[in-house]
Each structure stands twice: as C-alpha cells, then as structure tokens.
Structure 1
C-alpha cells in the first residue's frame, strides 16, 4: 500500500466504519465484510479518488446493493428446491420418495465434484461452510488459518467461481430471436 493510501486509510476509517454499519443493517451482511470489500476496491483502484469521502460513501452503497442482490438470488443450502411442493404449506410431500432421494443424491454428487475442482483454498472453505456441523465463521477461520474478516470476501469469490463452473455444466437454453 503506498503512502497516500495508507494516510487515507487512517483518515477515512471512522467514516467507513459508520457508513458500513448503517448500510449493513438493511443488507443482512456483516459491516466488517462491507468495510473490507470497500478497502479492497480502493486498493485495486490504481488512481486516487478526487473526493475520497464521497467515493467511500458511494462504494459502501454499491457494495450494499450488490449484497442485497446476492441475498435475493441465493437459496439456503439444504432446503427444498423451489416449486417442489415440499415447502411449508405446499403439500404433503415428505421428500422420502425414491425419485427425490435420487435427485438429491445426483445434486449432491454434482456439487461435491464441482467444489473439489475449485481453485486454491476454495474447496476447503466450501467443505467447511457446507459441513453438517454448522460451524461459525470463527470456527472456520480457526480451522483454515484465515482471518475471520476475510472469510466473507473469500467465500464470495469461491461462490462466484462455483456458479461459473456450474453454469457451464447446465444445458444452455434454446436460442431465440436474433441469436441464430
């Protein structure tokens, strides 16, 4: 980190903390994860913002919007698939039918296979996150030797990579319109 950005860090740290805390309440994301994402964004940007405080506020809001979008798209692991009739009040399906067991077994095998092909530390992290032991971030950080604050961004990168891998394996929709 160059000297200007280090100085900027100490000057903007209280503002970022306050902005991240305010935005985190509505996103369901930890304020520390928002803070870290903004610092990473600043460090990756090779030019200094003209208005650092304004840039910081916009960056926090942008990261919070992204977190809200991801929260709407993500489905909790282990729940019934949408539209399966196994949701609360959705029918009498118990999930014990042989077809359900077969489908869930295939989904689990595909997921485990994709997780094993992830790069770097992602396989370890994803196995810890998907563990039936339901580990906390602190326990996962301790097991993997990663700081607790970096688990959120690392998890996000790993999930993005996993999404891209699985999207390639899923059949592409039929072409329509001008794409032919």
Structure 2
C-alpha cells in the first residue's frame, strides 16, 4: 500500500540528507516512518505523499541539527569524568577547596601569601608572584617547598589516625 510505495523514496531521501545532519540514516528513516504512522493515525491524509516525505525528511534533519547544537553527551561517571561532572563531585570539590584554603590561611609567615598566590586561578608567572610578594624569583621554589612540607605535616596531624580494628578514636 502506501508504506510499500513510499519505501524507496524514504530510503533515498534519508540516504541523501542524513550525512549533512551528522545523524545515522537508519535513525532518520525510523523517525520519518514514525511521523508517517502518526499522520495516518490522526486521519490526516496527505494529497501528495512524495512531497510530504521530502518535507518531513528535511524537517527531521533540521531538528537533528538543532539537537546536536543544544545537546551534549553525558560524561561517563568513571575516573575520566571531571570534578564538575555531577553535583556531588562539584560539592565535594568545593568542600576540599575550602578546607585547603582554610589550612593555607593557618600557615605561618610568608607561606599563606605564597601558596594563595600560587593557588590563584589567574595563572600568574613566578616573576609576577615574586614582585607582588616582594621576594626574589629564585627563592620562590625553595620557600614553596618548605611551605608545602609544613602544610603536609599540618594536615597529617589533623587527620584522625585509625584505632584498633579500623575504628576511629
């Protein structure tokens, strides 16, 4: 009947238009058949079925192009996912950054200023940081190393050591 007569036309139109949309021809063809069945179920006959097929294929191609621009694939929850890939990870990352900033603020001497400057998202150079802190550029590395060691010792002391049988004291 109508479906059998339209099959070669649908296949040809879909094969011609799918690559431009960056979509799978089989998916596009299935969508066109679905639209045709919806149209037949609604009782709206088409005076020119061939024209309707061409218009529908092109409309679905446009819809597919718009969807590609709006939609982005969901990131895998595996180790490759970034810190902002889900709300839980984003919240944990924010908590960790707050804890780090609080620990850095408790550091003695010039360490807090130096590590805050290094943690600054502005991605400044050692020369810029040295000028800001009034230090020589060559001393930043050794001071940074000592400050990180101090931070490491301070955070290790704050972490509760496990008690007997894995229980936290």
Alignment TM-score, normalising by the size of structure 2: 0.48
- Could you say which structure has the higher helix fraction? 2
Higher RCO (CA 8 Å, separation ≥ 6 residues) = 1
Alignment TM-score, normalising by the size of structure 1: 0.45
